[in-house]
């Protein structure tokens, strides 16, 4: 469920131009991202970590639908953060409400990698969606 927050005005973000990998710390999963396949167009900003993770079967809670109106998609970018789009004021404000905030914290719906380096991401344990309505 992608959407746009009408109260948020951020600069356009350049999509990834080279292939890169997203390694999920603690989940033993590596996702190879081909920039020609982006965006998947489902969740968050085009080409965002949320979009990449959800498209590759990694469920990340995102109560607002990926429009930067909550902090449920909070992730920690442990490595490769320089390749990610900078957090704007709206994201910083939402991050202030996240549990377990770290200097590397990002909202997966807003964090768009440019492909210049591989990324290592940690999804905090309390944010992992272990049970889904689709599983019933």
pLDDT truncated to tens, each residue of the chain (136 aa)? 455 555 555 566 777 889 999 999 988 899 999 999 887 777 889 899 999 999 999 989 999 999 999 999 999 999 999 999 999 999 999 999 999 999 999 999 999 999 999 999 999 986 655 434 444 3
| Domain membership flag for residue 14 | no
Check the CA dihedral 99-100-105-108 and report its sign: negative
Give the CATH number for residue 71: 3.10.20.30
Could you list the residue range(s) of the whole structural domain that residue 115 is in? 24-127
Domain count along the chain: 1
pLDDT at 136: 36
pLDDT at 80: 97
Place of tokens 């409400």: 97
């Amino acid at each position: 469920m992608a959407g746009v927050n009408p109260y948020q005005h951020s600069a356009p973000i350049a999509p990834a131009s080279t292939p890169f990998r997203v390694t999920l710390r603690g989940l033993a999963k590596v996702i190879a991202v081909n920039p020609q396949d982006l965006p998947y167009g489902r969740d968050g900003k085009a080409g965002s970590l949320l979009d990449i993770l959800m498209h590759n079967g990694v469920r990340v809670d995102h109560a607002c639908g990926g429009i930067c109106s909550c902090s449920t998609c909070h992730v920690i970018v442990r490595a490769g953060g320089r390749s990610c789009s900078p957090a704007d004021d709206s994201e910083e404000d939402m991050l202030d409400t996240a549990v377990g905030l770290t200097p590397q914290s990002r909202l997966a719906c807003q964090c768009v990698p440019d492909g210049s380096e591989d990324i290592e991401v940690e999804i905090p344990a309390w944010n992992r969606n272990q049970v889904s309505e689709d599983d019933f």
